[in-house]
Protein backbone atom coordinates (compact mmCIF):
# COMPACT_ATOMS: atom_id res chain seq x y z
CA UNK A 1 0.00 0.00 0.00
CA UNK A 2 1.39 3.40 -1.01
CA UNK A 3 2.08 5.56 2.01
CA UNK A 4 3.38 9.06 2.59
CA UNK A 5 4.39 9.62 6.19
CA UNK A 6 5.12 13.17 7.24
CA UNK A 7 7.14 14.42 10.17
CA UNK A 8 5.41 15.53 13.34
CA UNK A 9 3.92 18.82 14.42
CA UNK A 10 6.27 21.74 15.03
CA UNK A 11 6.06 24.83 17.20
CA UNK A 12 8.53 27.55 16.25
CA UNK A 13 9.25 31.20 16.87
CA UNK A 14 9.28 33.86 14.15
CA UNK A 15 12.66 34.04 12.45
CA UNK A 16 13.55 30.39 13.14
CA UNK A 17 14.31 27.89 10.39
CA UNK A 18 12.47 24.63 9.79
CA UNK A 19 12.63 21.58 7.54
CA UNK A 20 9.72 19.12 7.44
CA UNK A 21 9.77 15.77 5.70
CA UNK A 22 7.59 13.39 3.73
CA UNK A 23 8.71 9.78 3.37
CA UNK A 24 7.24 7.59 0.67
CA UNK A 25 6.92 3.82 0.61
CA UNK A 26 5.51 1.00 -1.54
CA UNK A 27 6.01 2.82 -4.85
CA UNK A 28 8.83 3.97 -7.12
CA UNK A 29 9.72 7.20 -5.37
CA UNK A 30 11.95 8.55 -8.15
CA UNK A 31 9.28 8.17 -10.83
CA UNK A 32 6.49 10.18 -9.25
CA UNK A 33 6.18 13.90 -8.57
CA UNK A 34 5.77 15.03 -4.98
CA UNK A 35 3.85 18.24 -4.33
CA UNK A 36 3.50 20.36 -1.21
CA UNK A 37 0.14 21.90 -0.37
CA UNK A 38 -0.61 24.47 2.32
CA UNK A 39 -3.84 24.72 4.27
CA UNK A 40 -4.07 27.68 6.60
CA UNK A 41 -6.45 27.38 9.56
CA UNK A 42 -10.05 27.22 8.31
CA UNK A 43 -8.94 27.89 4.72
CA UNK A 44 -8.58 26.04 1.43
CA UNK A 45 -5.82 24.13 -0.29
CA UNK A 46 -2.95 26.03 -1.95
CA UNK A 47 -0.36 24.43 -4.19
CA UNK A 48 3.13 25.54 -3.09
CA UNK A 49 5.52 23.64 -5.31
CA UNK A 50 6.47 20.30 -6.71
CA UNK A 51 9.55 18.17 -7.29
CA UNK A 52 10.37 15.20 -9.49
CA UNK A 53 12.85 13.19 -7.41
CA UNK A 54 14.19 11.41 -10.49
CA UNK A 55 15.99 14.51 -11.75
CA UNK A 56 15.19 17.09 -9.03
CA UNK A 57 13.11 19.18 -11.47
CA UNK A 58 11.44 21.63 -9.07
CA UNK A 59 8.70 24.16 -9.74
CA UNK A 60 7.20 26.72 -7.40
CA UNK A 61 3.96 28.61 -7.24
CA UNK A 62 4.72 32.32 -7.74
CA UNK A 63 3.12 32.87 -4.31
CA UNK A 64 5.77 30.72 -2.64
CA UNK A 65 8.82 31.25 -4.86
CA UNK A 66 11.68 32.50 -2.69
CA UNK A 67 9.73 31.81 0.52
CA UNK A 68 10.38 28.06 0.78
CA UNK A 69 12.74 25.45 -0.62
CA UNK A 70 11.66 22.01 -1.80
CA UNK A 71 14.15 19.17 -2.06
CA UNK A 72 14.27 15.39 -2.19
CA UNK A 73 16.64 12.57 -1.26
CA UNK A 74 16.02 9.58 -3.53
CA UNK A 75 18.26 7.33 -1.44
CA UNK A 76 15.79 7.40 1.43
CA UNK A 77 12.60 8.18 -0.53
CA UNK A 78 12.07 11.46 1.24
CA UNK A 79 10.98 14.92 0.18
CA UNK A 80 11.44 18.09 2.20
CA UNK A 81 9.95 21.52 2.62
CA UNK A 82 12.05 24.11 4.37
CA UNK A 83 11.96 27.69 5.56
CA UNK A 84 14.97 29.82 6.47
CA UNK A 85 13.02 32.39 8.46
CA UNK A 86 9.50 31.57 9.58
CA UNK A 87 6.73 34.14 9.97
CA UNK A 88 3.53 33.93 11.99
CA UNK A 89 1.67 33.78 8.67
CA UNK A 90 3.38 30.43 7.93
CA UNK A 91 1.15 28.83 10.59
CA UNK A 92 -0.71 26.13 8.67
CA UNK A 93 -1.00 22.45 7.97
CA UNK A 94 1.29 21.28 5.18
CA UNK A 95 0.52 18.22 3.10
CA UNK A 96 2.68 16.30 0.68
CA UNK A 97 1.04 14.37 -2.14
CA UNK A 98 2.17 12.24 -5.08
CA UNK A 99 1.33 12.64 -8.74
CA UNK A 100 2.18 10.15 -11.47
CA UNK A 101 2.34 12.83 -14.20
CA UNK A 102 1.85 16.59 -14.24
CA UNK A 103 -1.77 16.20 -15.37
CA UNK A 104 -2.71 13.36 -13.06
CA UNK A 105 -4.54 13.87 -9.77
CA UNK A 106 -2.82 14.18 -6.42
CA UNK A 107 -3.09 10.43 -5.91
CA UNK A 108 -1.85 9.85 -2.38
CA UNK A 109 -1.60 12.32 0.45
CA UNK A 110 0.41 12.41 3.63
CA UNK A 111 -1.31 12.95 6.96
CA UNK A 112 -0.18 16.57 7.09
CA UNK A 113 2.29 18.41 9.33
CA UNK A 114 0.94 21.20 11.51
CA UNK A 115 3.38 24.10 11.79
CA UNK A 116 2.66 26.74 14.42
CA UNK A 117 4.75 29.91 14.44
CA UNK A 118 4.24 32.06 17.50
CA UNK A 119 6.34 34.27 19.72
Partner 1 sequence: NFMLTQPHSVSESPGKTVTISCTRSSGSVASNYVQWYQQRPGSSPTTVIYEDTQRPSGVPDRFSGSIDSSSNSASLTISGLKTEDEADYYCQSYGSSAWVFGGGTKLTVL
Q: How far is CA 2 from the centre of its chain?
A: 17
Shortest gap between Cβ of 62 and partner 1 (angstroms)?
8
Among the listed residues 30, 31, 111, 118, the single contact to partner 1 using CB under 8 A: 111
In the range 9-38, which residues lie near partner 1 by CB under 8 A? Answer: 35, 37
| DSSP one-letter code for 109 | E
Assess 50 for contact with partner 1 (CB under 8 A).
yes
How many residues bind to partner 1 according to rule CB under 8 A? 22
Stretch of residues binding partner 1 (CB under 8 A), selected from 23-31, 55-63, 66-74, 79-87 = 55-63
Phi-psi region of 62 (alpha: psi -120 to 50; beta: other; left: phi over 0): alpha
Site of interaction with partner 1 (CB under 8 A): 35, 37, 44-47, 50, 59, 61-62, 95, 97, 102-107, 109-112
Amino acid sequence: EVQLVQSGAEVKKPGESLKISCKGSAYTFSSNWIAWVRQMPGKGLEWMGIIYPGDSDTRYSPSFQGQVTISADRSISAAYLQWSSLKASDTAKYYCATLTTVTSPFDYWGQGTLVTVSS
